């Protein structure tokens, strides 16, 4: 139950349109999809995989967001305007990640014995229409621009855009906050 509070809190912090926690809890499809995923993930862990898939598919029907029951998603993730979001079986999404509409965290290949979906580290932002494919890592605090296709790791703090993705800003190019304030 604590996870849903963290998800609502994340939405309140990251969405300027969020007016209050009750509204977010009742009307945000990303919060609903994450809550259903937690139920499906629990069922999957206790080996009720068929029931887990049913919960997952019912959630997909109502929210437009498809999350495989085996995917590992931490508390405090924000899915905004989530229609068309797909998160694959071996994906890992850490705390503070923001995901926008049409994002795919998908796999490459059909080998069932290994990790074949992405890992998204803390506080990364993945904008609309991004496709992240394969067993790759999106580093902590990385930003992936809309419409990007990511097929290689993106380092922490970097910004990636394009098809295929290329790094346009690395973490060491970002000035410290105090320097930005002095320049203003």
For residue 109, what is the DSSP state? S
Contacts of 133 (CB under 8 A, 6+ apart): 104, 106, 107, 108, 118, 149, 150, 151
Domain boundaries along the sequence of the chain: 2-171
Q: Which CATH superfamily is domain 2-171 in?
A: Hexapeptide repeat proteins (2.160.10.10)
Is the pLDDT at 175 greater than 60? The verdict is no
Could you give the percent of the chain with pLDDT greater than 90? 76
- Mean pLDDT for the stretch of residues 59-66: 97
Kindly list the distances between the CA atom of residue 99 and the CA atoms of 19, 36, 176, in Å, as whole numbers in the listed order.
20, 17, 25
pLDDT range class, residue 48, cuts 50, 70, 90: very high
pLDDT range class, residue 100, cuts 50, 70, 90: very high
**β-bridge partners, 161:** 166
* Per-residue confidence (pLDDT) for residue 174, from 0 to 100: 57
Give the chain's radius of gyration (CA, Å): 17
Output the six-digit token pair for 19. Answer: 């007016």
* Euclidean distance between CA atoms 42 and 124, whole angstroms: 25
CA of residue 8 relative to chain centroid, distance: 15
- Mean pLDDT for the stretch of residues 74-95: 95
* Euclidean distance between CA atoms 59 and 57, whole angstroms: 5
**β-bridge partners, 120:** 93, 138
How many C-beta atoms surround the C-beta of residue 23 within 10 A? 14
Residue-averaged pLDDT of the chain:
91
Is the pLDDT at 149 greater than 60? The verdict is yes
Of residues 37 and 21, more confidently modeled: 37
**Count of helices and strands (H, E) across the chain:** 5, 15
* Per-residue confidence (pLDDT) for residue 1, from 0 to 100: 55
Could you give the percent of the chain with pLDDT greater than 70? 91
């Amino acid at each position: 139950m604590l996870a849903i509070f963290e998800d609502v809190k994340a939405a309140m912090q990251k969405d300027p349109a969020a007016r209050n926690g009750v509204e977010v809890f009742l009307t945000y499809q990303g919060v609903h999809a994450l809550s259903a995923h937690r139920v499906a993930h629990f069922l999957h862990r206790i080996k009720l995989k068929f029931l887990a898939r049913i919960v997952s598919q019912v959630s997909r029907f109502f929210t437009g967001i498809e999350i495989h029951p085996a995917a590992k998603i931490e508390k405090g993730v924000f899915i905004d305007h989530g229609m068309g979001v797909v998160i694959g079986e071996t994906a890992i999404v850490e705390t503070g990640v923001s995901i926008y509409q049409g994002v795919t965290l998908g796999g490459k290949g059909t080998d069932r014995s290994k990790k074949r979906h992405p890992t998204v580290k803390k506080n990364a932002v993945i904008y609309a229409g991004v496709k992240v494919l394969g067993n790759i890592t999106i580093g902590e605090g990385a930003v992936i621009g809309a419409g990007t296709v990511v097929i290689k790791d993106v380092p922490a703090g970097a910004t990636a855009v394009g098809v295929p993705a290329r790094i346009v800003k690395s973490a060491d190019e970002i000035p410290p906050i105090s320097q930005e304030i002095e320049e203003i």
